[in-house]
Amino acid sequence: MSSFRISGGKQLKGEIVPQGAKNEALQVICACLLTKDKVTIHNVPAIRDVVKLMELLKAWVSESHHPAILPIRLRRKKLPGLP
């Protein structure tokens, strides 16, 4: 299983191309909580797991929409302990 390892003190920036698989989409959506910037994700499957995750994230994101409307766009709210 591949993973993302993030060590503090370094700025993350760039683009990745998701495969469109459910498990990868869930990981990428969760990784978006690490930035306060607006994030746009393309090629996300509109399946129940993605819909449920987006519903759970409503408390933490200030801007989002139903994942059946692609691409997914979200922006994290200011959270305690995160820049």
- pLDDT one digit per residue (tens) for the chain, 83 residues: 577 676 777 776 777 776 656 678 888 888 888 888 888 888 788 788 888 888 888 888 877 666 666 788 888 888 777 66
How far apart, in Å, are the Cα atoms of 16 and each of 41, 52, 58, 74?
9, 23, 24, 16
Q: What is the pLDDT at residue 20? A: 59
How far the first Cα of the chain sits from its last, in Å, is 29
How far apart CA 21 and CA 54 sit, in angstroms, is: 16
What pTM was estimated for this model as a whole? 0.68
